[in-house]
Amino acid sequence: MAAEKKKINYGHELTKGFLKENPVLRLVLGTCPTLATSTSVVNGVGMGIAATIVLICSNIVISALRKVIPAKARIPAYIVIIASFVTMVQMLVKAFVPALDESLGVFLPLIVVNCIILGRAEAFAGKNPVLASAVDGLGMGIGFTAALFCMGTVREILGAGTFLSGIDTMIGGSFTGFDFTGLLAKIGLAPMTIFILPAGGFFVFGILMACANKIAEGKGLKKAEHNGCEGCPMAASCAQKKAEEAKAE
């Protein structure tokens, strides 16, 4: 109740996901889909938009039902709500952007267990009003999409020599993106395939994380730290954490 009575700064809730609490580069959540789908800008942005839609819709519903859902059944209830929206989004993608659905493969339905979405449901939507939860979902979704865009840009240009390749399959039209391979060949260079492989993904991910933390620290924000289980929104219901506590006792 106290959380609902306090005045909510919607501007802060929207922008915190851009840098201060960027889910990928600052909180290190959703790493698996980030590395897997950021081999190209189109795939990364497609995943980001799909996850953002699910984030906003699930946050709204979970917030609206927060007083109805029993505390002991909240995690299964959250997963059912999230899975419902993921199914809707996947059906829309299959119907209107089948090429993107094929490119994202299993990572599109796996949004159901994306720790960004479940984490925001547990840490924010389950404790705050509907409008604030919707704004939080939008901000986190934008931050997630921006991180995927940055990673996809670096990996696609350096690893494939293209930019926005395949965009025609997403938005239609005759524009197929930019191809730099001919220009690179003229100066005796070739794309570095390693950047579209897992090793290159981890390298770019680490560099972008370092840059994000440096910028954040320059703005006076708290340095990102690993806080163990206590920093996880799922800590209260985590079987591993309970087992460790029981062993310690």
3 lies in some domain:
no
**How many domains does the chain fold into?**
1
221 lies in some domain:
yes
DSSP SS3 for 93: helix
Closest-CA residue to 115 (of 88, 140, 90): 140
186 lies in some domain:
no
1 lies in some domain:
no
C-alpha separations of 237 from 121, 129, 230 in Å = 14, 23, 12
Q: Which domain holds residue 170?
A: 10-181+191-241
DSSP state of 192: -
Predicted local distance difference test score (pLDDT) of residue 227: 46
Return the amino acid letter for 124: F
Closest-CA residue to 237 (of 30, 1, 64, 77): 77
Contact 140, 120 (CB under 8 A): yes
Series of mean pLDDT values for 10-residue runs along the chain (249 residues):
63 89 90 90 93 95 93 91 94 89 86 88 91 94 95 93 86 82 83 91 93 85 55 53 62
